[in-house]
């Protein structure tokens, strides 16, 4: 991590290579800081204050570069630098990757401050300035001493409140003291000393509050999960005359199956979220506790999936048993449509096989129905098998020499010693992943330069989380994902599939294999997209997963918990690339520009 030795080494590098602010005073701070996940309420305020200070640092530095070096501006810069550091550290305590990024920005501003301060000290008539500042500080001794005492008292019960109490007083102090060299400051250290004694306990207090909130959230989620699993089991018993009554609503069997699936995937998404949140629990920081989180989570995810499948199949079986024979086909068709919205999310066709077999079994009551369902499944699965084979070949040709987005971005973020300005990947003794090593507004332009414009890349498991969204995203893959419009889906492939699968408004699919093929084709969701990489944006990896939407199960995947590579997950970056697509592969067809 960034330490004093590296810092001093970098002063020269920075002053020679830091391009943006030093070189061009008209360039505004080019990128806003990365967002917070806001798990703890205090994060928002800290973020706002840190952002303000970050901007103020930049503005003050530019001002100083343009005009003469004024002592009050130098002091004000110093004040904002110190504010930024305080709030950055507190954000890190709250599990916010934004805190780490602000620390990086602080480190750069600290270099600016040092430069400005040295310029001030180098001014010919600096002594009277220093006298003036020292005098002003002397005047405030009593007031500051009183404030320090008040804060230290308060800290015995509430160190966080003590910090809040000290903050404004400290800012006032630093906006004078910032113009003084260390020697001249020494008599006036009441507030820094107080902070020195309060920050430690406040950090512990914050982490404890965070831990409590995490434990509460987890407990609350586990209750929800229990309730969900119970409702899965109840479905079969509650089914009377083809309907289920719940909470003053009435569901048909297929509607309830839809609920089981929809809610089940919401639980999957929330489980990924809770798993991510565990990573900033203090017991997991620096202890490698993440291994336990991941194993539990994986078992939970599997258990959840198994329950979802079992519950829907049992519900279907009962519903089909009770249906009159002449309604059996219609019933199978309705379940096929409903369940076809979900089955493709599970690897290896496990759900598809289980459900389609259940359809055949249920049809066995009636010779004609059984013949229809078997024949339908046989010819449609054969045609799909061959279409998939063809699409596999097409995809191989389309991929050509493209690499995955994760590889392309990963290669561009590799740190070399001659170019320190990158978001940095760790050397491959562990699996490489992007780390904060510089603030994003320094690293990203350099990343962009190295990537070039229009680097080709492929992304996988592409999906629109919500139908209203104009963009598709790809599955999160080693901290990287793509975002793109998918105009290719406006093609005739979905209607062609329907013809091939003998599906129409009056003739439903009789397998989920068929129905999910059409469903995904109509939505434009697919397996692979190849395109050209445009802008890259950085976010905190933790933040990306902690803010998973309820519809987000396809984004994180559901087979395995999202794994964070080391203990300090706050340090890890997620990169999002805009991709301009050139071709799109659905499981059963491919479309290219």
Partner 1 sequence: MGNVSDRSPNNRSNWAVCMLMHGVFAFVLGCSNEQLNKLVEDVKSSTDVVKKEVQKVVPVGSISLSLGSQIDTSTASCRLMVMGDGRENVLQIRSSTSNSESYPSVLFLGSTSATSFNALQGEKISGQLFVQTNGENGVWQNDPQGKCVVRILSIQETELIGDIEPTSMVNAEGKSLVTSGSFRAVNENP
**Positions that interact with partner 1 (CB under 8 A):** 329, 368, 371-372, 375-376, 378-379, 382-383, 386-387, 389-390, 392-394, 396-397, 496, 500, 502, 506-507
Q: What is the DSSP string of 499-544?
A: HHTT--SSS--SSHHHHHHHHHHHHT-EEEEEEEEEEEEEEEHHHH
Minimum distance, C-beta of residue 562 to partner 1, in the bound complex (Å): 35
* CA–CA dist 214, 515 (Å, integer): 40
Minimum distance, C-beta of residue 393 to partner 1, in the bound complex (Å): 3
Write the DSSP symbol of residue 455. Answer: E
Give SS3 for 30.
coil
Minimum distance, C-beta of residue 394 to partner 1, in the bound complex (Å): 4
**Is the CB of 186 or the CB of 348 nearer to partner 1?**
348
**Is the CB of 7 or the CB of 383 nearer to partner 1?**
383
**Is the CB of 217 or the CB of 392 nearer to partner 1?**
392
Minimum distance, C-beta of residue 24 to partner 1, in the bound complex (Å): 50
Minimum distance, C-beta of residue 395 to partner 1, in the bound complex (Å): 9
**Is the CB of 125 or the CB of 367 nearer to partner 1?**
367
Minimum distance, C-beta of residue 233 to partner 1, in the bound complex (Å): 34
**Is the CB of 376 or the CB of 402 nearer to partner 1?**
376
Q: How far is CA 31 from the centre of its chain?
A: 18
**Is the CB of 310 or the CB of 496 nearer to partner 1?**
496
SS3 content of the chain, % helix, strand, coil (to 5): 65, 10, 25
Write the DSSP symbol of residue 287. Answer: T
Name 298's Cβ contacts closer than 8 Å, sequence gap at least 6: 560, 561
* CA–CA dist 385, 392 (Å, integer): 11
Q: How far is CA 204 from the centre of its chain?
A: 26
**Is the CB of 220 or the CB of 375 nearer to partner 1?**
375
Check: CB of residue 541 under 8 Å from CB of residue 97: yes
Q: How far is CA 68 from the centre of its chain?
A: 44
Q: Residues 253-256: contacts with CB within 8 Å, 24+ apart? A: 253/315, 253/316, 253/318, 253/319, 253/331, 253/335, 254/319, 254/331, 254/334, 254/335, 254/337, 254/338, 255/338, 256/315
**Is the CB of 63 or the CB of 392 nearer to partner 1?**
392
Q: Is the Cα torsion angle 116, 117, 121, 122 positive or negative in sign?
A: negative
**Lookup: tokens for 224:** 């929800």
Minimum distance, C-beta of residue 367 to partner 1, in the bound complex (Å): 10
β-partners of residue 416 are: 419
Minimum distance, C-beta of residue 65 to partner 1, in the bound complex (Å): 60
Check: CB of residue 346 under 8 Å from CB of residue 305: yes
**Is the CB of 11 or the CB of 397 nearer to partner 1?**
397
Minimum distance, C-beta of residue 521 to partner 1, in the bound complex (Å): 14
């Amino acid at each position: 991590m960034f330490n004093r030795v590296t810092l001093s080494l970098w002063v020269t590098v920075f002053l020679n290579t830091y391009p943006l602010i030093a070189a061009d005073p008209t360039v505004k701070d080019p990128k806003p800081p990365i967002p917070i996940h806001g798990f703890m309420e205090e994060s928002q305020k800290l973020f706002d204050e840190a952002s303000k200070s970050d901007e103020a640092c930049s503005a003050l530095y530019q001002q100083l570069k343009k005009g003469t070096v004024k002592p009050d501006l130098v002091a004000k810069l110093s004040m904002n630098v110190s504010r930024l550091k305080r709030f950055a550290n507190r954000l890190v305590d709250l599990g916010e990757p934004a805190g780490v990024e602000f620390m990086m920005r602080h480190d750069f501003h600290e270099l600016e401050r040092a430069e400005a301060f040295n310029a001030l000290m180098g001014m010919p008539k600096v002594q009277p300035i220093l006298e003036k500042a020292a005098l002003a500080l002397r005047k405030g001794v009593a007031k500051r001493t009183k404030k320090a005492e008040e804060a230290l008292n308060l800290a015995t019960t509430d160190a966080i409140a003590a910090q809040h109490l000290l903050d404004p007083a400290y800012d006032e102090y630093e906006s004078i003291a910032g113009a003084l060299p260390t020697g001249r400051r020494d008599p006036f250290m009441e507030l820094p000393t107080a902070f020195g004694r309060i920050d430690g306990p406040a950090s512990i207090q914050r982490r404890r509050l965070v831990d409590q909130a995490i434990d509460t959230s987890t407990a609350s989620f586990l209750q929800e999960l229990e309730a969900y699993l119970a409702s899965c089991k109840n479905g079969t018993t509650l089914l009377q005359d083809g309907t289920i009554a719940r909470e003053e609503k009435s569901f048909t069997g297929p509607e309830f199956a839809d609920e089981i699936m929809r809610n089940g995937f919401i639980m999957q998404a929330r489980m990924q979220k809770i798993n991510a949140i565990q990573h900033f629990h203090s017991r997991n920081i620096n202890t490698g506790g993440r291994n336990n989180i991941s194993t539990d989570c994986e078992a939970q995810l599997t258990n959840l999936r198994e329950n979802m499948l079992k519950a829907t199949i049992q519900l279907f079986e009962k519903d089909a048993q009770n249906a009159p024979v002449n309604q059996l086909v219609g019933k199978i068709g309705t379940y096929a449509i409903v369940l076809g919205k979900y089955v493709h999310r599970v690897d290896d066709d496990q759900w598809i096989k289980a459900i389609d077999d259940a359809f055949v079994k249920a049809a066995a009551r009636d010779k004609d129905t059984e013949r229809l369902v078997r024949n339908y499944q046989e010819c449609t699965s054969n045609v799909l098998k061959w279409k998939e084979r063809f699409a596999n070949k097409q995809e191989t040709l389309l991929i050509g020499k493209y690499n995955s987005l994760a590889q392309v971005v990963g290669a561009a973020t590799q740190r070399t010693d001659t170019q320190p300005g990158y978001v940095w990947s760790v050397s491959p003794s562990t699996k490489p992943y992007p780390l904060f090593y510089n603030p994003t507004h320094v690293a990203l332009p350099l990343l962009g330069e190295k990537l070039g414009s229009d680097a080709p890349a492929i992304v996988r498991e592409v999906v629109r989380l919500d139908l209203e969204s104009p963009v598709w995203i790809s599955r999160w893959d080693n901290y990287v994902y793509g975002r793109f419009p998918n105009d290719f889906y406006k093609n005739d492939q979905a209607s062609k599939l329907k013809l091939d699968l003998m599906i129409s408004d009056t003739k439903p699919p009789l397998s989920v294999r068929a129905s999910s093929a059409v469903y995904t084709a109509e939505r434009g969701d697919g397996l692979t997209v190849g395109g050209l990489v445009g802008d890259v944006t950085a976010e905190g990896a933790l933040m990306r997963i902690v803010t998973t939407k309820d519809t987000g199960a396809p984004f994180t995947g559901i087979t395995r918990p999202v794994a964070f590579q080391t203990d300090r997950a706050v340090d890890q970056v997620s990169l999002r690339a805009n991709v301009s697509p050139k071709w799109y592969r659905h499981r059963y067809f491919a479309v290219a520009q």
